[in-house]
Amino acid sequence: MKLTKPKNSARDFEKVLRKSLRKTYTLRLYVTGMTQKSTRAISNIKKICEEHLKGRYDLQVIDIYQQPALAKGEQIIAAPTLIKKLPLPLRRFIGDMSNKEKILLGLDLRPRK
């Protein structure tokens, strides 16, 4: 009888557990059609997410012209608006998302000074 090493070692389990404990970000970006400002906001937030949250985010882009009920439910008064739903606390950002440092700080990806 030949003994084989188990495929799932404790080290593999710990690695999977650490991965699952990492924060997953749930983000919603509300825009108004495909205006220049909306397009810039989409591009900026996607770039920030890919650089700092790769594989750990869910970004929904919602056009408030096409889905006004969603915007009303979230009490969106200006667009573009980014809402960080998870992890808590909930945060809102308004504008074209070009102030990268402010976004990173608001997403708790940079230490506060």
Q: What is the domain-level CATH number for residue 99?
A: 3.40.30.10
Q: For residue 99, give the DSSP letter.
A: -
Query: What Å distances lie between residue 110 and 27, 36, 52, 66, 71, CA to CA?
Result: 17, 28, 10, 34, 29
Residue 11 falls within a domain, yes or no? no
**Assigned domain for 19 exists:** no
State the residue range of the domain holding 44. Answer: 24-106
List the chain pLDDT tens, one digit each, 113 residues. Answer: 555 555 667 776 666 545 555 689 999 999 999 999 999 999 999 999 999 999 999 999 999 999 999 999 999 999 999 999 999 999 999 999 999 999 999 999 875 66
In angstroms, the CA 93 to CA 88 distance is: 15
d(CA 35, CA 103): 21
